[in-house]
Amino acid sequence: MYKHLTIEQRVLIEDRLNKRISIRAIAKELGVAPSTILREIKRHTVVSKAITNDCAIRQGCIHKNLCNDKYCARLCSKCKSVNCVLYCTDYIKDSCGKRYEPLHICNGCNAVHICPHEKEVYRANTADRQYRNDLVASRTGFDVTDKEMEKIDALASPLIKNGLSPYHVKQTLGEELPVSESTLRRMIDRCELNARNIDLRDKVKRSPRDKTQNKNRNKTLSVSKVGRFYEDYLKYINDNDTTTVEMDCVEGTKEDTKALLTLTWIELSLQIALVLQEKTSERVVEALDKLEDALGSELFKEVFPLILTDNGGEFTDIPGMETSKGGFKRTKIFFCDPNRSDQKGTCENHHKMIRYCIPKGTRLDPFDQFDISLMMNHINSYKRKALFGKSAFELAKGALPEDFFILLGMEEIDPTEIVLTPKLFLHSKCNG
C-alpha cells in the first residue's frame, strides 16, 4: 500500500463525496484510516467566492455611502464596488444549509453550479496538483543550519577547486562531511558553496536535461473513470473469462495531423492499425464506429469484449467508445495507471515493429489506410521467437472467426516476401 494517496484514489474520493457516501465507507473502500480521508478533504478543499452579496440581512439593508462617496445614492447591498465584509458593521454571513455535514462541503449538491453562496468543493485533480506542489516545496532547500553549511563549504570547496570529484571528496571526508554526494552536487549546482559547476570536470560538458517533455506527465483523471482503473481491470479479468485488446496511438512528427490508432490482442499478438485524420476523441470514436460497421455489431462485440488503453486526451469520450451508434453497449473500456505504459506492454512492443517500417521522425500524413493495412499484414505474418516460431496470423486464425479477416481485408503474406523496412512502401507503389 502506498503511503501517499494516488490520483486514482483522489478521483474515487471525489466520486464518493458527490454521492454523499460517508467518510468511514470511503476509508474502508480505500483501505485507509478515516482520519486520512478527513485530512485530505480539509487540506485540499477549494473555496470559491460568493457570486452575489452573501450578507444574511441584505434584503432589508438600507445602508448607503459606506464608501464615503457622498454623491452615490445606491444601496450598498446592491453595489459591486463595496465590500460589505470590510465596511459594514452589521454584516452577517449567510450560510447554506445544504452542505455535506459534518464536512461543510458542497460536493453532492445539485445546485452547486448555480448557488450564489460561497462554495467549498473537493476536486480530485486540483487536490492532486496541490499535493504535488506541497511535496516539491517540502523537499526544496537543504536541511542544514548556517553553521553546518559553512563547515561543508570550508571542507569541500577547496578540494573541489583542486579538481577532485564530489565522490572523491565524500569518500575521503566520510562522516566528517554531514551530507551525501548527491546533496553536495546539488549544493554546488545551486551556488550554495564557493565551488561552482565550472570546477566539476564533466558537469559543464553535459547538456541540461530537457524537462519540457515531462511537463504534462501528470494527466488529470475524470470521475467518469471510476470503476475503470487498472485495479478494476485486473479484478474484472480475474472474475470473467474474456479477451483483452490493448488500444493506443502512434504519432509521427509535430507537423502531422494524422495518427495511427492501434488495437492489439494480447493472447494472439495480432495488431491492426487505423488511420486517424486527427488525434482527437471524436476521431477515435469515429474509427471504432467504422470498425463496427465493417464487422457488424455481434462480431464486433465478440472480438472486442474489453479494451485497455491509457489516459491520453484522445480516449476521454468513454460513452462514445463503449456505445454503438444505435445506443447498445459494444465493449468495456479500462484505463492503465498514469505513466505506466508497461501495463499495456504488448501493444508498446508491437509499435517497435511499426517503427521498422515508419521510423521515428517520419511524417504520417503521406500514408493512407491502404499503406498502413499493407504494413500490418507484413508485421502479422512475421514469424517470432516469442510465438514459438509462429506468426500472429497463424495464432489468430485458430481463435478469431474467419469473417473477421475477410471483412477487414487482412491477408497473410508469404514468409519469403515479408519486408519490414521503409522499402515496403516503395515496393508496393512500384507494384501498384
CB 123 within 8 Å of CB 140: no
Q: What is the mean pLDDT of residues 47-73?
A: 70
How far is the C-alpha of 164 from the C-alpha of 381, rounded, in Å? 57
Same-domain status, 301 and 379: yes
pLDDT, tens digit, for every residue of 179-198?
889 889 988 988 889 998 88
Helix (H) or strand (E) holding 79: none
Supply the DSSP symbol for 336.
P
| C-alpha cell, 428 | 508496393
Q: Which of 45-54, 96-105, 299-308 has the highest mean pLDDT?
A: 299-308
Same-domain status, 407 and 352: yes
Domain count, the chain: 3
Q: What is the pLDDT of residue 197?
A: 87
pTM: 0.65
Whole-number average pLDDT of the chain: 84
Q: How far is CA 113 from CA 47, 62, 116, in A?
A: 13, 30, 9
CB 63 within 8 Å of CB 90: yes
The answer on pLDDT for 217 being more than 50 is no
The answer on pLDDT for 141 being more than 80 is no
- Find the domain containing 243 and state its range: 227-431
Q: What is the mean pLDDT of residues 170-174?
A: 90
How far is the C-alpha of 106 from the C-alpha of 93, rounded, in Å? 17
Q: What is the mean pLDDT of residues 151-178?
A: 90
Same-domain status, 423 and 373: yes
Cell numbers 464487422 correspond to 295
The answer on pLDDT for 148 being more than 60 is yes
Same-domain status, 238 and 320: yes
Same-domain status, 169 and 125: no
* Domain assignment present for 390: yes
CB 153 within 8 Å of CB 194: yes
How far is the C-alpha of 107 from the C-alpha of 84, rounded, in Å? 27
Same-domain status, 369 and 405: yes
More reliable by pLDDT, 72 or 368: 368
* Domain assignment present for 405: yes
The answer on pLDDT for 432 being more than 70 is no
Same-domain status, 333 and 353: yes
Same-domain status, 106 and 178: no
For helices 166-173 and 181-189, the axis angle rounded to 10 degrees is: 130
Q: What are phi and psi of 33, to 5 degrees?
A: -75, 145
The answer on pLDDT for 339 being more than 70 is yes
Residue 403: give its domain's CATH number: 3.30.420.10
The answer on pLDDT for 246 being more than 90 is yes
pLDDT band at 107 (very low <50, low <70, confident <90, very high): confident
Same-domain status, 111 and 181: no
Burial status of residue 309 (CB atoms within 10 A of its CB: 0-12, 13-18, 19 or more): buried
Which three-class secondary structure state does DSSP give residue 93? strand
Residue partners of 227: CB distance under 8 A and separation at least 6: none
Q: What is the pLDDT of residue 3?
A: 74
* Domain assignment present for 168: yes
The answer on pLDDT for 214 being more than 50 is no
Same-domain status, 158 and 296: no
Same-domain status, 273 and 319: yes
* Domain assignment present for 365: yes
Q: What is the pLDDT of residue 207?
A: 62
* Domain assignment present for 181: yes
Same-domain status, 372 and 281: yes
* Domain assignment present for 173: yes
* Domain assignment present for 271: yes
* Domain assignment present for 184: yes
Q: How far is CA 354 from CA 258, 372, 376, 396, in A?
A: 15, 9, 8, 19
Of 113, 138, 163, which residue constitutes the final position of a domain?
138
Residue 43 — left, alpha, or beta (φ > 0 → left; ψ -120 to 50 → alpha)? Answer: alpha
Residue 141 — left, alpha, or beta (φ > 0 → left; ψ -120 to 50 → alpha)? Answer: left
Q: What is the mean pLDDT of residues 108-131?
A: 83
Supply the DSSP symbol for 384.
B
CB 393 within 8 Å of CB 380: yes
The answer on pLDDT for 398 being more than 80 is yes
Judged by average pLDDT, the poorest of 47-51, 122-126, 230-234, 357-361 is 47-51
Residue partners of 52: CB distance under 8 A and separation at least 6: 116
